[in-house]
Amino acid sequence: MDKIIEATDSTIHLLPHSQYTSPLGRVTPASVSPDPLEQFRIWLRDAVAAGVPEPEAMSLSTVSLDPSPLPSARMVLLKTVDTRGFVFFTNYTSRKSRELEKTPAAALVFYWQPVNRSVRVVGTVEKVSEEEATEYFHSRPRESQLGAWASHQSTVVAEDDVRNRLRDVSQHFEGRDVDKPIFWGGWRVIPQEVEFWSGRPSRLHDRVRSFGALELDLTEYEV
């Protein structure tokens, strides 16, 4: 169904949305695992099996406290979800990394529209180990490895700066493995709250939230 809009030169109004109904069924406290990370892995597998485009895409929200509290959000890609949390990789000099360094907390949102499901995560963050970051870095395509050296995230660049840096870096590493930059690595979001959302008709959506903290390998959550 096409979106119906009313528009003027300066304003767009989105008219009533089609009804939500998840083809994968309802979500209730009794239907989810007591471990939200295990439940997330179940839903992620469901999204992949249903052909959801880029199910690993997630909104990452951080906050800057200087000069005044201000949130910031961007799309990043989940690379690992395990018994400890959600891992993504980035440049440590980027805005998101600088904000995570100063305020080590973040929120994630996954939205899988074809199955009318969403997952919201709130938690603290930590850097992944150098060994984990290096292992993942060397699993990436060579072009992506070179791009990590060439891209100075969250900086203003001239039109050809990145292209020229990529050329120089390619020449520097020609004929040998690409080293992982010291300014590149991963962050792990350790969940303290996870909400599973399933769309239902008449906006009577299902939401199940898990609260708790993850410490070492022991999970204590309340659904």
Q: What SS3 class is residue 174? A: coil
Residues noted as catalytic: 203
CA distance 116 to 202: 14
Residue 87, H or E segment: strand 86-91
Q: Give residues with Cβ within 8 angstroms of 130, minimum separation 6.
A: 185
Classify residue 175 as left (phi > 0), alpha (psi -120 to 50) or beta: left
